[in-house]
Amino acid sequence: MSQTKLRTAQSVSPAEAPASAIAVSVENVSKNYGDVQALKNMSLQFPRGELTSLLGPSGCGKTTLLKIIAGLLKADAGSVTVEGTPVTEPGPDRSFVFQDFALLPWASVLRNVAFGLELRGVAKSEREAIAEKYIAAVGLAGFEAKFPHQLSGGMRQRVGLARALSVNAQVLLLDEPFSAVDEQTRRKFQEDMLSLVQNEKKTFIFVTHSIEEAVYVSDQIAILLPRPSRVLEVIRPTSFRGKDVANIRRDPEYLDIVDSIWASLRSYVE
C-alpha cells in the first residue's frame, strides 16, 4: 500500500497486519463513470471487528468505494475480498445502511427490521424475536408497531441500522447514516455506534463528511483525495479508545487529530 501514509499512535499499518486480522481487502481498485475517473488504484484494508471511516471532500469516491465493497457496483480494475472471498455481487456477509433509510413505507418497524430475514426464509417467530432484539439495541423498544411515516428521521435511521444488524452480516456498510438528523440526535447516534462496535464485534465501514465524527467513532480513518480518488493517509487514533464517551471530545489527541486532518484536507476543499 505504497500510496498510503500511515499516522498512528501505538499501532501497525493495516498493510502490515496479519491476514487473519483483515476482514475486507481492497486492492488496486479503479472505477470510471464515462470520462470521469472516480477511483484510481485504490488499496485499503479493513481490520475485523473495527470501525473504519472513509473521510474526504465531496465527490472523492467514498460512496463509490462502499458500493463496490457491497457488490452493488463492479470495479473496472482491481479486486475486493471479504474474508478472503472475492466480491462479485451482493452477499449475506455484507449489509448496507442507506443514507435515505430505504424503509418499506407500508410495513411496521418490526417487519422492516425483520424483512431481510423474511427474504431468507427464516420462520416468523424466529425472525421477529431477532428483530425485537435489535430494535431494542438501537433504542426503539416500544415502537415495533409504528410505521415509517410515524417516526422522526432519526428514528427511521435507527430502523435501517437495526435491519442491517438483524441479518447478522459480518460487514456493515454505512453511507453517511447520520447526515439527516439534528446535532443532538447525531451525537447520541455516535455514542450508540461506539457501543454497537464494541458489543457486536462486526466490521463497520462508515462514510462521513464530518472530521469530528470520524475521529470520535473510528478505530481507523482513511482520508481520501479528490477524484481520481486514492488514499492520502490512514490514521489510527488510540489513546482515547475505551475512554468514557463523554470525555473523548476533550482528549488532547482527539483535538490534535481533528486539527491535523483539517490541515491535510483544507487545500483540497473548494
What confidence tier does 23 reach under pLDDT thresholds 50, 70, 90? Answer: very high
- Identify whether 18 is preceded by a cis peptide bond (ω within 30 of 0): no
Residue 235: strand pairing partners: 7, 221
Task: Looking at the structure, give the CATH architecture of the domain made up of residues 5-93+169-268.
Answer: 3-Layer(aba) Sandwich (3.40)
pLDDT at 149 over 80: yes
Mean pLDDT of 82-89: 93
- Percentage of the chain lying above the pLDDT 70 cut: 89
Spell out the domain ranges in the chain.
5-93+169-268
Mean pLDDT of 203-229: 91
**CA-closest candidate to residue 232, choices 15, 60, 48, 47:** 60
The CA-atom distances, in angstroms, between 106 and each of 39, 156, 206, 238 are 38, 13, 28, 44
Mean pLDDT of 158-176: 89
For 136-145, what is each residue's pLDDT tens digit?
Answer: 988 889 999 9
For 27-78, what is each residue's pLDDT tens digit?
Answer: 999 999 988 899 999 999 999 999 999 998 888 889 999 999 999 999 999 9
What confidence tier does 79 reach under pLDDT thresholds 50, 70, 90? Answer: very high
Task: Calculate the average pLDDT of the chain.
Answer: 85
